Structure 1
Amino acid sequence: MRMKYAKILRTLAVAVILSLVIVLISATPALAAPVITLSPTSGSPGTRVTVAGANFESYRGDSISIFFNGRKIDTLVIPDNGIFATDFDVPDDAVPGRVYVTVRDERGNQLGSRRSFIVEEVEIELYPRDGAVGTMVTISGKGFYASETVTVYYYKNGARVNLGTEAATPIGEFTYTFAVPNSTVGNHKVMVEDVLGNSDGANFKVIPSITLSPSSGVMGSEVTVSGTGFGYRSDVTIYFDKVGVATDGTDRYGSFEVTFDVPVMQSGTYDIEAEDDDNNTGGAGFTIGAGVSLSQYTGNVGTTLTVSGMGFIIDGTVTIKYDDVQVATATPDGNGAFSITFDVPASIGGNHTITASDGTNIVRCIFTMESEAPPMPAILLPEEASRAEAEAYFDWEDVDDPSGVTYTLQIATDADFNYVVLEKEDLTDSEYLVTKEERLSATKKDAPYYWRVKAIDGASNESAWSTSSSFHVSSSFVIPSGVKYALIAIGVGFLCFWLGRRTAYSRG
């Protein structure tokens, strides 16, 4: 019986001990699993990668190794806090694709989960991938040696042209923009190469193109066509609205330049096309507008001016204005052309606008009126300090001017002409006789009149005033007509009486 109780007691003791052990084990905190991270997680050879570890407290003081795709690249000792970080560069010979970074202890056991890293493949992309010579193209590249220079090449005519260089980012990426150089039509290789010889290429397709200078004008105006991206040393024909107007040949890079005159056509927009021997074509639009020209662009009042126009509405009415004054009308012929003449009206010196309008087309050009003043007149009569009649006569030399002249005469009581007693404007002759209504009052010699004259042409250009001259008007007594006749009668009577007496005396 005692043996049975003893066995039971031993069993209970073991159970109690095991329970205590379990409780103690449960009360002990569990250690977190080691964790590693990578930054960045992708890149090219030469990329600097940071490996960071946490929760390595269980391995404090232990030596661990970092492996890149199975290759040991670094060794370190875990610090007391169980946290570490270290850097390495992606090897130059790393193969593009997914690789793994692992951490192992001295016995080769992997600690924590492995982390993947993408080794980028060398690659470039072009945007856009086709266009004319001169198109701005952006290259985007990745997988090149990190933080090092890449060189960009363009192939044309079998030769490689160095376009420039660019520095790759710390993960081996770059962008580079260039203008497509002169080159023939078709695909041209663009290649990028790094310092390790890693390279990639892509094709850019050159498309024929032309430019016009100017892109609009009138019939007969000169147009220059510049073409790029055509065939190698090929003949090119220029078509204006499908009609050949010029020919030329391209150089070794498919470029050309040729000039032609705009043919006689109605106003509107037309296609200009260039085509080479291999049927490569490029086109642009040209607008024929209405235009006018003048027989001369400077002149004087009365100048006979011819206005010639092109590109106006056929059989319409074109109104010609000088500034805002209508001076002529014309009817365009079957080609929209016209020619009309008019005499330039009186207007001030300087620029004036000549406008031709058919209601739809309005074209303006500038005519410049002469602005040279006529010569200063030279005064003749009355002479200096002379006496003149109250109805004085004034005379001066003629002045010639292509715009015609008129004269302005002034008579004043002072030498500065502050007190003008008579002013005559728009005189067409180089002389003037004071009228009875304008007769001048008598003056003394020491208080004379002063006179001067100037010339004004049809363009309102004025000469300087002539030198002034003085004169005086003496008082005059006028015998009334009745008295005059009476005195004549008395004189005749006296003469007869005297003659009679003399005759009688002789006979006696």
Structure 2
Amino acid sequence: MKIKTLLRVFPALIIAASIAIGVFISPVSAVSSAPITGHVGSTVTFSTDPTPVTGTNYTVHFIGIDAGNNSINVTVIQSTVIPTNGFVSGNFPVPAVPKGNYKISVLGDGNPTAVDVGNFAVTPSITLSTISATAGTPIIVYGSGFGANLAVNIYFGTTQTTTGTPLMTVSTTQNVNGSFTSNPFNLPQTPYLPVPYYITAFDSASNIASTQFAILSRIISLSQEAGAVGDSVTVNADGFTALGSVSVFFDSITNTPLVTVAANSLGAIPATSIVIPPATRGQHTIYVRDNTYTTVFALKAFTINQSKIILSPASGPVGTVMTVNGTGFADSVVVGFEFDGTAITGATVTTDTKGSFSKTITITNSPSGVHVITARVTTDAAMFAQANFTVSSKITVSPTTGKTGDSVTISGTGFYPNGQITLAYDAIALPTAPATLTVLPDGTFSGIFTVPGAVEGSHTIIAADGLGNVATTAFSSSITASISPDTSATPGFVGQDITVTGSGFKPNATITVKLEENSVATGTSNTSGAFTITFKAPVIAKGAHPVTVSDGQTTKPFTFTMEGTAPAGPTLTEPASGIKAKQPITFTWGAVTDQSNPVTYKLEVATDANFTTLILSKEGLTTTSYTTTEAEELPTVSKKVPYYWRVIATDAAGNVGSPSTANSFVVGFSWADVPVWVWVTVGFFAVIIIGGGVYLLLMRRRSSF
């Protein structure tokens, strides 16, 4: 039964629904509007043709029901004259109304029945205060066509996302038209992408609208935006490819990069220092470029508003050759130079195309202290740069070597004007000529001093003006000494005259000459440190011996070579060879001459010709004869086994000569040499023997008888 009833009323329900929907959706027959959907502000075109509108004037209404079932009727065209044919047409912008379906009606003042020309669906939409910006830029979102009195979340991402944490939430609570204007919000630091980002608005009724947004790269900051060539500038930038390579350029992205760094995951580069390269004065551009997408770059102006010069070296004495390197000038201009405001004659240079130059300048006579070097464009006095050069004190001496008593000229530069110069030689005050040395206005002075006595070698000359300016230089003190004769080629001999001369020693000092470690002579140097000392070569062995001469400070060494020629063998005189010598025996021989006197002799007597068995040896004999003592009497020998004697000469240098030719001699028997007791003994036995013989003879005769 219920099914039958439903079947009976279903057609009527379909017809009623169609009529109801047609009121809001279906266009009136033979009338039109376009488009049929869009967002607030869209332009809608309409026409009532062929249905005329009666009356004098007409109005156009935008009619609908919002989500709260509230009726909305917005007059979009005010009273307008109806054409004579009654056909009305025109256009209007979609008014600020919430999302929904709306009817467009034209009402003439001559007929209370409106002509419905079409339907229009309002959709959500958003616009931005800018569609591209750098991170940190304040962005305002303008929304329309959303639900009335709803909360709307704003999202930012690479897609039309409605999830996650929104950038911010706005409300249409106070706006029944479904529109809103967000508070400004700063874009987060975000890396560059070759595809767009999206900003999306999503209300609590799931109404959604998105728009594309492009992230731009930027130079966040420069630690300074003006300065000079050579300044260190810190660059902060973002909006580049995440973890990508980023380069910093000066004046052109086609130049060689100043530095290349890696961006972080947010597309920002760390604080990066660059040094401003040589360039002309004026405005320039610093570029930061993405090396992954080379069309992505940021730039910022940098102004070179200072010219600069660098001095190398920046200090030194008069005569220093200084190099002036200039930057930040105009290109191809002539630059002149000044020293303490006074132009340096002949010193000019032309800058290159980058406003740079290099020029060498020699520091001329000037007082000690800080002086201002100025480089100035000759055609633009306002374009200049300055730097300080510190002049230090300096002294020179001529000659740089000498000996005690020599005169030396000393000259100084870089001292304080009118200062009184004092000199010292190894910290010992040094008299000068003139006695007072006064510094001239240009910081110079000159004078003469006499080299004092001192050890040989390098000494320090010190000059001071009493006002804090001190300079030093080296002076080499040469001390000369010689020994004569030179025994290196021709050796000397004992008793020879040896002369030692010297100069440059301590004045009026005791000079000591030593051979080996023994003093052999002394003398005194004169006021200029010169001396001459002569002594006899002492008795020393042959060969080289050290000789020194010293004043107590300085010692000069020499070598004295004693001759090594042995004296000849002596000529023997008595006893002559083969004779019988009478004791005591006197041995005599001829004298031997030698350079190294005195000559001493050695007498040897042996029992064989080879002198292997000596029975007498006497050394150090200073005369040419020797007589044996009673204790030295020689036993008697025959000619078959004679004695042999010889003499050997030794000079004072210890050179031992060859033995003389040996002589032989004998010592014969002499009755006179027989002692008395021998004769008594012999006589006694002779008497006994003779007497006994006579006795025996007599006894034999007696017995025969």
Q: Higher Cα Rg: structure 1 or 2?
A: 2
Please, what TM-score do these two structures have when normalized by structure 1?
0.48
